[in-house]
Structure 1
């Protein structure tokens, strides 16, 4: 199509020239004797002149024509490059892409509706999750920094100091004891105690302790030393035997308490905890002070920062492990909530309107603030082109259509030439 248009102007000019030559020759040799042929000859003459004139006009736009005097009026695009650039910049920034035009078009665009529809497609949903994974990965990359731990410790300190833990703790303890939820804790403690008391290491520690007590007793006086010596001599004091009986008694006691929620020691301990819980609920000064002191010691403890550091480090490792694969609990949770949010937003027109209003307002501010950058981009793009590239690009876009000017020049010139010839024939 491009080549066909290129031939339009040239073809029209050639037809005019050939027509002029042929008709002129035929008239000159007497082959065409009727005066009406002079009208046709005048038409071809005018068409040739018009075709040449418009060829020159179109050619002069893009290239320099080495004809004296008029040469300086050719190569118009290159000679007026600066004016052309500023004209294009002005046209783009103040007419085609003015802030008013952009904002007017923007006001009719349902941004969020389009965004939601786009993000709900499987391909884009996958890209969105990938983008969120990257953001989360970057956010957590430095979460185990010591400064973060210090900041969290400081925040926790301020928050915990102003929080009443005594009352809710008292209510929780009371409910747990009344409902028997703490019995599981009893079972764990008693199981651990039973295993510990029957452990060989525990036995050795207790035996050493008994022996130390016997030695200390002997050092308290001469008669006590003689008594211990006689008792050991007759077998009245046998440390291993005493220890076995002691361990057996404790073991029986633990088993008895473990199997009976109403055991005396459990009931007594539960009552003490319940009384403490009621005191916390009622705001007993002595009881609440215990919790308050624990709060302060917990957050001011030198190990608190280390504990927070360990928690943050474990959290970072866990999150990174979850982000490495696409089918992990965290990624599934993220995908489900993103889909839920998109579904809710798709049907919530009020929220769409609010977000659209905010986005459009923000975009309008940015357009107003940085609108001059549009002109700068156009100017920079044109400046980067050398003369040949500039002419070539313009000619590629409009040069072919300018060939119709040459066609019109030949046609209109020929038509006017015929009319003038007819008028001359009639009136002269």
Structure 2
């Protein structure tokens, strides 16, 4: 059998109910006063009227006493500064501190908060919410629309400096020389260094062939002018022949040049990977590179370009960012539904977050509640408290009137019987 929870009243509705109950309690006192006066005026003509008169007399006393008590909680009765009245405004600071400690001690206990969180089952609520396409659409829209504002708050120089600093830190942690050593080692293992040498040799041969006249001119400039031209030509021919022979020897895969190149490459790789001096040189080179103004501007340009692209996409009608956010939320919602482990992890994370941020700071929260109450205007705190509990206090007045009348009637009857 399902039960429906009552709809809580608004402050305006509570204030209206309080006014109605005040009128009822006040009219009862006026009625008792009227009955009492009539009983005194008519007692000589109607003797039995003493009975309702006794009731009214005691009810009047009880009602006025409870009116005084209820009124004294919030203000001075009839505006007269009677001692120990206007209790709430006079003790506002103490009430605020006490209320804050009460909330912190009784409502923010770790076990109470954890039990309530488990009862609510937030992972299921989140999964059900994410299962609705319109919810995801609204959320992804709001998130995407908020991205440009966040990006605009970031300075391009700061972002570029952040990228540069982090790249520098990561490269220093890893080491430039060992990375370069690994790259060269990979090239060596695959034989790429030999193919690279072959390509360099081909380029050198073409360079020599295409610049024969320049080489001849340089040889002629270095020889004495008194030598015959035939001697100059012979020297030039010898130089070209030596260059061609040397290049051909290096091209030979089984030649000593290739073996020496292999050994030098392996030694260079080993030095890059193990030598402190090479590591230091690599870090110095990296530092000079990252300190270059052109590179700094490059990072700033990257930051600006990224911001512009993300902003344009986030604000477009067909936003890829918005689709990705929606898809991520959908996948996460589906994962929550089918994977109990993920739900338990999320529940545990929520409990830890609440316990660390709320329960862990319950004393500060209690002090904060107390400070808020202490800052309230005295009329404000009176109105707030009276609106919340004043209607129930008016029942005290009504009950005091009725109970007082019944007690007075009983005493009157006892007196008559025993008298």
Instruction: Please indicate the TM-score interval, normalised by the length of the shorter structure.
Output: 0.5 to 0.7
How far residue 7 of structure 1 moved from its aligned partner, in angstroms, is 0.8
Q: Alignment partner for residue 398 of structure 2, among 394, 407, 419?
A: 407
How far residue 389 of structure 1 moved from its aligned partner, in angstroms, is 3.2
Q: Partner of 1:232 in structure 2?
A: none
> 1:373-392, aligned counterparts within 5 Å?
373-392=364-383
Q: Partner of 2:5 in structure 1?
A: none
| CA distance in structure 1 between the aligned counterparts of 2:96 and 2:322, rounded to whole angstroms | 54
3-state SS in 1 of match to 2:175: helix
Relative distance call for 1:158 and 1:224 in structure 2 (3 A) is closer
Q: Alignment partner for residue 168 of structure 1, among 172, 186, 194?
A: 186
Q: Deviations over 1:19-75 (max 9, x none)?
A: 2223433334x2xx3x4332122112222121111111112222224799x932322
Q: Partner of 2:69 in structure 1?
A: 57
How far residue 95 of structure 1 moved from its aligned partner, in angstroms, is 2.0
With normalisation by structure 2, the TM-score equals 0.65
> Is 1:122–2:133 an aligned residue pair?
no
> Is 1:45–2:57 an aligned residue pair?
yes
- Contiguous gaps of at least 5 residues in structure 1: 191-196, 198-204, 229-267
Q: Partner of 1:420 in structure 2?
A: 411
Q: Partner of 1:19 in structure 2?
A: 35
| CA distance in structure 1 between the aligned counterparts of 2:323 and 2:186, rounded to whole angstroms | 31
Q: Partner of 1:342 in structure 2?
A: 332
Relative distance call for 1:369 and 1:173 in structure 2 (3 A) is same
Q: Partner of 2:304 in structure 1?
A: 317
How far residue 84 of structure 1 moved from its aligned partner, in angstroms, is 3.1
| CA distance in structure 1 between the aligned counterparts of 2:157 and 2:222, rounded to whole angstroms | 62
**Contact preservation (8 Å) 1:153, 1:308:** no
Q: Partner of 1:286 in structure 2?
A: 264
How far residue 423 of structure 1 moved from its aligned partner, in angstroms, is 3.6
| CA distance in structure 2 between the aligned counterparts of 1:292 and 1:143, rounded to whole angstroms | 37
| CA distance in structure 2 between the aligned counterparts of 1:50 and 1:64, rounded to whole angstroms | 19
3-state SS in 1 of match to 2:83: helix
Relative distance call for 1:40 and 1:4 in structure 2 (3 A) is same
Relative distance call for 1:335 and 1:62 in structure 2 (3 A) is closer
Q: Deviations over 1:309-358 (max 9, x none)?
A: 46634432331122222159973685377346524642432123224324
- What is the aligned length? 356
**Contact preservation (8 Å) 1:217, 1:224:** no
**Contact preservation (8 Å) 2:175, 2:282:** no
How far residue 426 of structure 1 moved from its aligned partner, in angstroms, is 4.1
Q: Partner of 2:361 in structure 1?
A: 370
| CA distance in structure 2 between the aligned counterparts of 1:27 and 1:390, rounded to whole angstroms | 48
Relative distance call for 1:96 and 1:149 in structure 2 (3 A) is closer
- Contiguous gaps of at least 5 residues in structure 2: 1-15, 234-249
How far residue 372 of structure 1 moved from its aligned partner, in angstroms, is 0.6
> Is 1:6–2:6 an aligned residue pair?
no
3-state SS in 2 of match to 1:71: coil
Relative distance call for 1:218 and 1:71 in structure 2 (3 A) is closer
Larger radius of gyration: 1
Relative distance call for 1:299 and 1:208 in structure 2 (3 A) is farther
Q: Partner of 1:251 in structure 2?
A: none
How far residue 13 of structure 1 moved from its aligned partner, in angstroms, is 0.7
